[in-house]
Amino acid sequence: MAEAAPTTNIARKPSDTANRPSDQAAAPRNLKLLKGLLEAQPVVEVPAPPVIAESNAKSEPVKKGWISKLRPRHIAISLSFLAVVMVPSAITSTYMAFVAADQYHSSVSYSVRSISASSSGDLLGIFTQGGGGSTTADSYVLLDFILSERMVQAVDEAFGMEKIFGPQGSDYYYGLRPNLPIETKLSYWRRMIRVSMDHTSGIMDIEVKAFSPEVAQKVASFVVMQSEKLINDLSMTSRNEILKVAQEEVRSAEVRLTQSRSALRDYRDTSQEADPVAAAKLATQIVGGLEEQLVKLRTELSTALSQMGEDTPRIRVMRSQMASIESQITRERQRFGSGAAAGKQPRNAQGSDVAGRIQQYEGLQTQNEFAERAYTSSLGALEKARVEAAAKQRYLAVFIKPTLSELAQYPHRIMNSLLVTLGALMLWAVGVMTFYNIRDRN
C-alpha cells in the first residue's frame, strides 16, 4: 500500500501540470487553492485502498467456497453412506412394498398328557386320572422332532415343499427354489414354522406360515398328525419295554412248569401208579390187615392146641395159613423198604421199593409245585406290568385346532425396512468411527 500511493501521484502530476494554466486563467486564486486541497486528499489516501479491496473481494469467494473445503475423505464417506445405507434401504423398501408376497399363518396348541394309575377306591384319583405323570421329556422330544429333517421329509412327501412354498411371482427371497438339498429345506422350514413351549405347563404353541391360508392350515394339521403318531409310537415302545421282561419271565416259568409236569407224567407211566404215597398207605393198610389176621390165627391155634393134637388136620391148616400170612407180610414190608431184608434185595433203576418211589415222587412233586408257583407269580407280575404300562401311556391333547387365517400377517414390511435401514446405518457409523479412530492414532 505504501508503494501504490506514490505511483498514483506520479501518474497524475503530469496531467495536473498540463491543465494548470487553463485553470488559473478561468478561476480565481481562492478557488484554485480549494480545488487543490480537495484533489490532494483522494490522491494520497482514497484511490489506493479501493483497488486492493476490489482485488481481495474477487479472490476470496474462490478460496472459501464449500466445494473447495471438501476433502477426499469427505467424498469417500458420502459415497459410502449412499452405498451402505441409502441403496440397501431403498431396495428393501421397494421389495417389501411391491414384490414380497403375502403370507398367512395357522396356529395350533396342544400338550402331551399321560394316564395316571390311581386305585378305584381313591376318590381323588377319579378327578386326577387324566393329567398325571411327567411329560416334560416327551415334550422336548416332540419339539426336536417338529424342527428335524424327518418332519421336513414327511411334509415334502405329503405335499411337496417346492409346490406349496415355491416363489410367488417375483418373490424369490421368501419362496423356496426347486432342487435344493435337505439341509437348505430344513433351514427354510425353520423360517416358516415357529414352535414355543411353556416349561411349566408343557403347552406347545405352533405357528405355520404359508402363501395361502388353506395351505397353512393343512400343513399345521399334518404337523399335529405326525406329532400324535410319534407320541403313540413312544408310548407303544415304552409299553413293550415294560412288558418285555415280564413276558420273558412268564415264558421261562411256563417252560419250567412244562418240564416238571412231563417228568411227573413219565414217572407215573413207569411206576404205573398215580400217587406212591397213596399206594404206601394202602400197603400199610394191607400189612395191618394181614397182621390182624395173623394174630387171630395165632389165638385160634393156641385154643386148638389145648384141645387137639399137633398132627391133626385143623392144626396143620392153621399153621399153613399163618405161614402164608407171615410170608405175605414179609413181602409187603420188603416192597415198602423196611426191615433187614430190604438191604439184601437189589433195587432196579425205577426203584422197586415204596420208599424209593415215594422219595422220587416227592422230588418231582416239589419241583412241579415250585414251577406252578413261579408260573403263577410271573403271571401276576405280567398283569402288574400291563397296568403300569397302561398308566405310563402318553397321548396328545389338542385344545386349539389349526386355525384358518383371514388376514395376511407376514412379512412385516415396515418393520423389515426399518430394521434394514437401522442395521445399515449402524454398520456405516461403526465403519466411519473406526476410520477416524485409526486416522487420529496415526
d(CA 271, CA 331): 18
111: β partners: 203, 397
Give the burial string for 175-195 (b: 16+ CB within 10 Å, else e). Answer: bbeeeeeeeebbebbeebbeb
Q: Which three cell numbers stand for residue 137?
A: 421329556
Least confident stretch, 36-40, 241-245, 285-289, 430-434: 36-40
Alpha helices in 195-353 (DSSP H): 213-271, 276-307, 313-336
pTM: 0.58
User: For the residues 34-48, what does the mean pLDDT come to?
Assistant: 55
120 has a pLDDT exceeding 50: no
Closest CA to 371 of 258, 248, 286, 205: 258
201 pLDDT band, cuts 50/70/90, is confident
Output 229 or 245, whichever has higher pLDDT: 229
Question: Which uninterrupted H or E stretch holds 189?
Answer: helix 182-192
DSSP 8-state assignment for residue 208: E
Q: What is residue 424's predicted lDDT score, i.e. its pLDDT?
A: 92
- DSSP for residue 173: S
Find all residues with CB under 8 Å of 170, minimum gap 6, and list them.
Answer: 99
347: confidence class by pLDDT, cuts 50, 70, 90: very low
Look at residues 264, 259, 261 and name the one whose alpha carbon lies nearest to residue 357: 264
203-210 β-sheet, strand order: 193-197, 203-210, 104-114, 394-400
H-assigned helices in 308-412? 313-336, 354-391
Name the amino acid, one letter, at 45: E
Kindly report the backbone phi and psi dihedral angles of residue 133, in degrees, each rounded to the nearest multiple of 5, phi listed first.
90, 150
pLDDT of residue 67: 59
Q: How confident is the model at residue 260 (pLDDT cuts 50, 70, 90)?
A: confident
